[in-house]
Every structure is written in C-alpha cells, then in structure tokens.
C-alpha cells in the first residue's frame, strides 16, 4: 500500500469506527455485527502501526467509545474503566501468554478464565457497604450517573452482606454488566409486536436503551439484571487476586458469573475456554467470549496497560453462529414515525436452534454498502442477535438473475414520496395519514405513556382502522356509540366505559398529547420539558430554531439540536399543523403543568449545574427544588452558569467552575437562596 493510499484508508476507517462506536455505545442501535466492528478496529490499528506518521495520538477516552447521553449527570470514575484487547484466534491467545512469560520469566502463570458478558458495562460504588452510585462506562474516565435506574434492579443489593472474616471496604467500585434475560427481552418484544412497534434487535440493545431512560419509573417496568465480576478502586484493598475477589463478590451477596476457571498455564486456559463455550448457552446472560485474566493483582500491576487496555487480560471472542441462505424478496415495513425498514425474506434456514426466515437489512445505505441483491445467497448471523442480520453476500453464488434492489421512492402503503431527514440514514414516509402509520400511531397515542386510554387494545384498534372509522387521530374522539355497539364483542357497559375514557382524555396533560403526536426523537421526558416550557401546543407548533437554540446553547434543558430540528420539521408539514388544529377544534384541551400555588420565583433566570453527593438530598430532589423556584438545571458548566451546586466527590464540573470563575455553592447555601 502506498503512503497516500494508507493515509486515505486510515481516514476512512477512523470515520467508520467513530460512527459505529456512536451507534453501539450511545444509541444502542448498531448497524454492523460486533465481529465486523472488531475487524474495522483491527485494520485501523494495524495500519496505524505500519504507518505511524498517520496515526493520531488518541487519548484513552477516544479508544473505548463513549456512551454518555444528554440529560444525565456525568460522574468521574475513581479508577478509569478500561477496555480489553480482543482476538478470535487461538494463536493470538497463546502469543498473549508468551508476552507475559517473557515479562515474568516463568510459564506456570496463574489465570482466571471467565465468561465475557454481552451487556453494558457499569461501575457500582459501595461506601461502608452501602450502595451509593452506579455509573456507566462513558468514555472510560467519566460516565453517566444511572444510580436511580440501577436501584430498580431487584437483584442488586443496596448493602453488601457482612459476615465473619468478610471485609467491607470503606469505598469500592465494583465492575460488572447490566443485562436483560432472553425471556424478558421476548416478553417486551412480543408486546411491541402486538402494538405494531419496531422490535429491538437483541437483549443487549434493549438493556442499554432501557438503562438510559431518564425516568426510573419506566426502567422499573422492565426487568433488568446485573452481574458483577471486577474491581475498580478499592480502599483499603481487600483482595490480592482475581480468584480471591470472586470469592468476596459471592460472600457480599452480589450476583456474579455462574462459573470461573482458575487455571495455570496456557494449555489449561485453552481447555477452560473450550469448556466455557460448551456451557455458555445455558447462562442467563448472553456471552460473546471468554476473558482471560492474570490472577495475581501484584503481577497485574507489574504488567501494566497500554492506552486502551490492560496487558494482563485479553478477551477471546467466539465466532458468532452463521448460516447461508437465499434472499427471496425484500419487503418494507413502515413504522409509527414512518421509517421504512427493509426486511430480507429468506428461504428458511436453521440457525442457532431456531428457524430463520426474515432478517433486517436496517436501511437503504446498508443494502448498498453490502451490495445485497434480490436472489443473492447471503450469510445470516445471530451473534446474540435475536433478530438475525445479513452479514455478507456470497459472491461466488451470484447469478445474472440477481438484480439490484430499487429502494422505493414512494411509501409502499400510501404511495406518498418518501423523504430523508437531514443527518439521518432512514427514509421516511411523511404522510401522517398513511394507514400503516395510523394503526401504529393510534396504538402509541392511546398507550399508557401518552393519552392512556383504557379499553383500547390492539384488536379494537385494528377494527377501528379496518372499518375506516378512524383514519386520523382526531377521528378517535368522534366515534359513534351506535356504530361501536355493532362490534361483535361489545356490550353496552364496555362501550360506555370506552367512550367515557376517550372523553376524559380530551383534558389530558399537555405532555401526553405532545408525546402522543409521535414526533421523531421526542420521548416522555422531552415532552414534559416541552410542555413546561411552551405551556400551549400552538406555541410549540409555531416555534423556530431561535426558541430552542440561542448562541449554540439549548434554551430548554434536555432539548438539543437534533430534537429541535425534528420538532420544527414535524410542524412544518401542513398535515401535522392541520392535525393539531383539528384536535383542538373538536375539543381536546391539553392541560399545561400546574405551577405550584404561590410559586416562588426567587431563582428565575438562574442556571445551576449539580455535581457530587449532597448531604441530605439527592441531586434529583435538589433539581426539583430549583426548578420549582423558577431556576434551571443544566448538565454542563459554561460561562452562563449562575451557580455550581457541589457536594462531596464533585468531579470535573467543579474544576470547570473554578476555571471559569463560576460561583460554587453547597446545599446549605442553596437552601438559603430558596429562602
Ligand atoms: S474485565 C480492565 N471481565 O467487555 C479489565 N470485562 O471488551 C476490563 N466485559 O469493558 C474489564 N465481561 O465491559 C472484564 N468477565 C469480564 C467481562 C468484561 C464483559 C466487558 C467489559 C469490558 C468489555 C471489553
């Protein structure tokens, strides 16, 4: 490869790695398999080693991805969370051992082999044995504070179990993975399927998406699990080896891996890896490999780390299960927000214990990128992926009959021209009254997180849409009693109950209506922020970019530029404007949030950033107090910040405040300000 070629390839790879890391870590919506991602990373690392002149010195944080999201408080890990080097080859695993043999001058090194859990990394801090914090990996140095959500995990003890001879450290960061069982994943997907909503691809994505909900009540409705296996910072130290540490984790009553293999020498490591592979399918969580760790903590420290990963550990990844089959057709599914998802209709094939007949193709770009054609033989993979994905085409079996798929430029259901929103890969049908969308939209509109109308199940919705009684959302409020009575199962009482719930829903809280409209990217918590800020649906519908972003800063905390664009784009559709006008015309009267009586305004115009642990209240409680008094709470410190409210163990935000000269106050001072 010539220098210019290498430079160009490195640039391309860097962009791809960054894009897929963002999709995986931050959005929990990966478009390529883990294996393909690992390959991109590996190619980049190899090229950078070969052409060091083009390598950029990446800080450790750039190397591990970043899962942090807007709306969460950032929290610094006392000890950074590193990533692991990984390999798919036995040879490289042996080479890992040889490097350590050379370093320590002996080959009987003791290791612990444990499952590599396919969840999302978390660090849980216990102080004096009490659970005080849970933080995602973030960029490895600081992550999102998900304590409130983690507290909803039933199996995570609030307190470490003490016992004779069981030490309880002053402070310990315990590392592990949050996951969701296959059964819970299937339960949720089944409900979504019934509601006509898009399905989650695998338990890992669903678990990641769930733990990053801003509202802990929503998290509590899904059963999340946790497994703990590692140690971060620990004061005073309580274990001197990984084996010893695993014993303590069990004694403290924490959920941990079913089995670990303390072994000596690389042959025993390999045997353990093989045995783990044969057992792993019976575990509650998905596994995608084995982690091999040097057992002795002292030797670990001596071996040290590279910028990205420790030298004393490696992940050996198992090959995902794959099968080859033919694409009979490509169909398009139209989702609630009009997203067109291409689906490969396959000749049924047996894969990892179940028959696969369909696989998602994600979007138009993916079909082009992989050059997938109708009639092609393709490899499908289920790498913890419950919905299989098409990995690659077998070009050797391509015939001239295999034709390029023309992605429709019209919605296959209502024939409206499809559009692509700026910055999105998805194609959308912008027609709000597309029948495919109406059914899904209506289901969303009446669901618990929106208008919460009792008695409108999926079967009833189907009837209403099929009979043409409901073509648009406002039709719901104009259903006729005598027509409803002609539906087979209807009895007088349930019809009257349904009509009464629909009537009551006209006075719904404003945020419910906003959420119910199904504006892309706008979830429950954003809907609440929008309702509190605009207070009238007409004002939201008329908002321009200046109302959302001023001097590149969010005017409404929690509403960034992507959401602002989606909202403006939504209301720029005349049909959507008409929909809102019609809802109001027929008597829907959304209720703005009530400002507490005699609302205090002492903090109006003041912006606060909260950091660290406060002595008597949680940060959430403090935020409510500030907002009730008219102040705003923001996630990051800038020159515009009025005060940083800092507790103990305040992180980088405190440093930033000092740097910018922003006044720092404590809880007592906040209470004084509140009067
Ligand atoms: S050890 C410095 N052990 O895999 C040591 N990690 O690809 C790093 N993971 O960031 C972690 N199971 O989130 C370790 N038994 C296990 C694991 C494990 C899953 C995750 C972890 C890590 C990632 C690296």
For residues 228 and 249, membership in a common domain is answered with yes
**Residue from 25, 114, 116 to probe ligand 1 pocket by mutation (most atoms less than 8 Å from CB):** 116
- Residue 102 among the catalytic residues: no
Q: What is the pLDDT of residues 629-661, one digit of tens each?
A: 888 888 889 988 999 999 988 888 999 999 999
Q: Given a cut of 70, is residue 253 above it in pLDDT?
A: yes
Residue 422 lies in a domain: no
pLDDT tens string 297-343: 999 999 999 877 999 999 999 987 788 999 999 999 888 778 898 99
List, in order, residues 6 or more apart from 235 with CB less than 8 Å away.
169, 170, 171, 172
Rounded to whole angstroms, how far apart are CA atoms 362 and 379? Answer: 15
pLDDT band at 385 (very low <50, low <70, confident <90, very high): low
Q: Do 140 and 275 sit in the same domain of this protein?
A: yes
Q: How much distance in Å is there from the Cα of 60 to the middle of ligand 1?
A: 16
The reported pLDDT for the residue numbered 142 is: 94
Choice between 642 and 220, residue whose per-residue pLDDT is larger: 642
Q: How many whole angstroms from 312 Cα to the centroid of ligand 1?
A: 12
Q: pLDDT at position 58, please?
A: 56
DSSP-derived 3-state class of residue 340: strand
83 and 229 within one domain: yes
Does residue 430 belong to any structural domain of this protein? no
* Count of helices and strands (H, E) across the chain: 25, 26
Domain assignment present for 68: no
Whether 230 is in the pocket of ligand 1, judged by its Cβ within 6 Å, is yes
| Residue 414 lies inside a defined structural domain of this protein | no
Identify whether residues 236 and 293 lie together within a single domain.
yes
What is the pLDDT of the chain when averaged over all its residues? 89
CATH code of 244's domain: 3.30.470.30
Q: Would you say 590 and 608 are in contact if contact means Cβ atoms under 8 Å apart?
A: no
Q: Are residues 48 and 93 in the same domain?
A: no
Nearest to 313 by CA among 253, 269, 271: 269
Per-residue confidence (pLDDT) for residue 580, from 0 to 100: 96
CATH of the domain at 474: 1.10.150.20
Q: For residue 383, what pLDDT is reported? A: 61
CA dihedral of residues 422, 427, 431, 432 (deg, nearest 10): -80
Q: Which of 384, 404, 424 is the last residue before a domain boundary?
A: 404
Q: What is the mean pLDDT of residues 55-61?
A: 57
The residue whose CB lies within 8 Å of the most ligand 1 atoms, and thus the one to mutate among 41, 289, 315, 317, is: 315
User: 360: domain CATH number?
Assistant: 2.40.50.140
Question: Which residue's C-alpha comes closest to atom 6 of ligand 1?
Answer: 116
Residues whose CB is less than 8 angstroms from the CB of residue 209 and which lie 6 or more positions away in sequence, other chains included: 28, 200
Kindly report which listed range (194-198, 227-231, 484-488) carries the lowest average pLDDT score.
194-198
CA–CA separation, 450 and 443 (whole Å): 10
Is there a single domain that holds both residue 501 and residue 528? no
User: Do 479 and 576 reside in the same domain of the chain?
Assistant: no
C-beta 82 within 6 A of ligand 1 = yes
Domain boundary at 254, 286, 317, which?
A: 317
For residues 271 and 301, membership in a common domain is answered with yes
The alpha-helical segments, DSSP class H, found in 447-594 are 458-466, 481-484, 492-505, 510-516, 524-534, 537-541, 545-548, 561-572, 574-585
- pLDDT one-digit tens code per residue, 71-96: 889 999 999 999 999 999 999 999 99
Total structural domains in the chain?
6
Question: Which pLDDT band holds residue 598 (cuts at 50, 70, 90)?
Answer: low
User: Does some domain include residue 256?
Assistant: yes
Omega of the bond leading into 236 within 30 degrees of 0 (cis) = yes
Q: Are residues 172 and 254 in the same domain?
A: yes
* pLDDT > 50? residue 60: no
User: Which of residues 288, 317, 346 is at a domain's end?
Assistant: 317
DSSP 146-177: -HHHHTT-TTS-SBPPPBTTB---SEEEEEEE
Prediction pTM value: 0.61
Alpha-carbon distance of 161 to 168, in angstroms, equals 8
pLDDT digits (tens, 9 = 90+) for 390-416: 989 999 999 999 999 999 999 998 899
Within 10 angstroms of residue 402's Cβ, the number of other Cβ atoms is 19
In the reported structure, the alpha carbon of residue 653 is separated from the centroid of ligand 1 by a whole-number distance in angstroms of 28
Q: How far apart are CA 625 and CA 198, in angstroms?
A: 37
In a domain, 597, yes or no: no
- pLDDT of residue 136 exceeding 90, the answer is yes
Mean pLDDT lowest for which of 40-44, 195-199, 449-453?
195-199
Residue 419 belongs to some domain of the structure = no
The C-alpha angle with vertex 496 and arms to 490 and 499, in degrees rounded to 5, equals 105
Catalytic annotation, pick one of 29, 57, 102, 116: 116
Indicate whether 142 and 7 sit together in one domain.
no
Q: What is the mean pLDDT of residues 158-170?
A: 94
Q: How confident is the model at residue 291 (pLDDT cuts 50, 70, 90)?
A: very high
pLDDT of amino acid 307: 77
Return the CATH number at 660. Answer: 3.40.50.10190
Distance CA 81, CA 94 (A): 25
Cβ neighbors of 112 (< 8 A, separation 6 or more) are: 242, 243, 246, 260, 261, 262, 263, 292, 293, 295
Strand partners, 122: 136, 176
Residue 474 has pLDDT above 80, yes or no: yes
Answer for the pair 224, 211: CB distance below 8 angstroms, yes or no. Answer: yes
229 touches ligand 1 (CB under 6 Å): yes
**pLDDT of amino acid 626:** 87
Q: Is the confidence at residue 432, as pLDDT, over 90?
A: no
Q: How far apart are the first and last CA of the chain?
A: 70
Highest mean pLDDT among 7-16, 459-468, 582-591, 609-618: 582-591
> Is the C-beta atom of 114 inside 6 A of ligand 1?
yes
Are the C-beta atoms of 241 and 296 separated by less than 8 Å? yes
- Cβ neighbours for 423, distance < 8 A, ≥ 6 positions apart: 562, 565
Same domain, 127 and 267: yes
**CATH at 51:** 1.10.287.610
Q: Does the residue 611 lie in any domain?
A: yes
Give the pLDDT score at 195. Answer: 53
Q: What is the pLDDT of residues 660-672, one digit of tens each?
A: 999 999 998 998 8
Domain with 362 in it: 322-404
Taking only the tens place, the pLDDT of each residue in 83-135 is 999 999 999 999 999 999 999 999 999 999 999 998 999 999 999 999 999 99
| 636 Cα–ligand 1 center, Å | 29
Residues 611 and 648 in one domain: yes
Decide: 81 and 140 in contact? Cβ < 8 Å.
yes
């Amino acid at each position: 490869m010539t220098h210019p070629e290498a430079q160009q390839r490195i640039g391309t790879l860097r962009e791809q790695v960054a894009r897929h890391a963002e999709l995986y870590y931050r959005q929990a919506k990966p478009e390529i398999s883990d294996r393909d991602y690992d390959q991109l990373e590996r190619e980049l690392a190899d090229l950078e080693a070969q052409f060091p002149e083009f390598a950029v010195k990446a800080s450790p944080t750039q190397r591990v991805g970043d899962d942090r999201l807007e709306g969460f408080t950032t929290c610094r890990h006392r000890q950074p969370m590193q990533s692991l080097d990984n390999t798919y080859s036995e040879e490289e695993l042996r080479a890992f051992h040889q490097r350590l043999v050379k370093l320590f001058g002996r080959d009987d090194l003791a290791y612990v082999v444990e499952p590599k859990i396919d969840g999302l990394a978390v660090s849980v801090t216990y102080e004096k044995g009490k659970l005080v914090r849970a933080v995602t990996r973030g960029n490895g140095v600081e992550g999102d504070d998900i304590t409130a959500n983690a507290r909803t995990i039933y199996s995570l003890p609030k307190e470490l179990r003490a016992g004779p001879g069981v030490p309880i450290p002053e402070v310990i960061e315990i590392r592990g993975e949050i996951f969701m069982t296959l059964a819970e994943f299937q339960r949720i997907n089944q409900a979504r399927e019934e509601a006509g909503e898009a399905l989650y691809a695998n338990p890992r994505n669903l678990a990641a998406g769930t733990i990053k909900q801003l509202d802990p009540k929503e998290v509590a409705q899904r059963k999340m699990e946790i497994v703990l296996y590692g140690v971060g910072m620990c004061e005073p130290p309580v274990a001197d080896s990984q084996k010893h540490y695993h014993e303590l984790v069990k004694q403290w009553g924490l959920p941990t891996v079913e089995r670990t293999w303390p072994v000596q020498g690389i042959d025993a490591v390999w045997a353990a890896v093989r045995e783990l592979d044969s057992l792993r399918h019976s575990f509650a969580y998905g596994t995608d490999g084995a982690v091999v760790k040097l057992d002795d903590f002292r030797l670990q420290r001596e071996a040290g780390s590279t910028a990205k990963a420790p030298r004393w550990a490696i992940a050996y990844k198992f090959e995902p299960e794959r099968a080859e089959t033919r694409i009979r057709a490509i169909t398009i599914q139209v989702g609630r927000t009009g997203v067109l998802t291409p689906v490969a209709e396959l000749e049924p094939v047996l894969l990892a214990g179940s028959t696969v007949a369909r696989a998602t193709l994600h979007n138009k770009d993916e079909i082009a990128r992989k050059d997938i054609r109708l009639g092609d033989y393709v490899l499908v993979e289920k790498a913890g992926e419950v919905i299989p994905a098409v990995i690659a085409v077998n070009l050797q079996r391509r015939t001239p009959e295999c034709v390029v798929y023309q992605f429709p430029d019209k919605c296959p259901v209502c024939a409206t021209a499809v559009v692509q929103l700026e910055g999105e890969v998805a194609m959308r049908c912008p027609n709000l009254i597309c029948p495919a969308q109406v059914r899904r939209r209506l289901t969303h509109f009446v669901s618990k997180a929106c208008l919460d109308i009792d008695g409108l199940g999926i079967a009833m919705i189907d009837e209403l849409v099929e009979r043409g009684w409901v073509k648009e959302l406002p039709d719901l409020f104009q259903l006729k009693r005598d027509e409803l009575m002609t539906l087979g199962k209807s009895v007088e009482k349930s019809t009257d109950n349904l009509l009464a719930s629909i009537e009551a829903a006209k006075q719904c809280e404003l945020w419910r209506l906003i959420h119910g409209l199904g504006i892309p990217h706008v979830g429950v918590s954003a809907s609440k922020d929008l309702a509190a800020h605009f207070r009238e649906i007409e004002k939201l519908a008329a908002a321009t970019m200046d109302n959302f972003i001023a001097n590149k800063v969010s005017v409404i905390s929690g509403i960034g530029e992507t959401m602002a664009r989606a909202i403006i784009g939504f209301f720029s559709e005349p049909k959507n404007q008409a929909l809102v006008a019609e809802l109001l015309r027929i008597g829907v009267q959304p209720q703005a949030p009530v400002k507490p009586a005699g609302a205090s305004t002492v903090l109006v115009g003041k912006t606060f950033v909260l950091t660290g642990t406060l002595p008597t209240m949680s940060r959430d409680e403090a935020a409510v107090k500030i907002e009730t008094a008219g102040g705003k709470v923001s996630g990051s410190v800038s020159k515009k910040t009025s005060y940083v409210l800092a507790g103990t163990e305040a992180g980088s935000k405190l440093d930033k405040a000092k740097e910018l000269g922003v006044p720092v106050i404590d809880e007592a001072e906040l209470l004084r300000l509140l009067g």
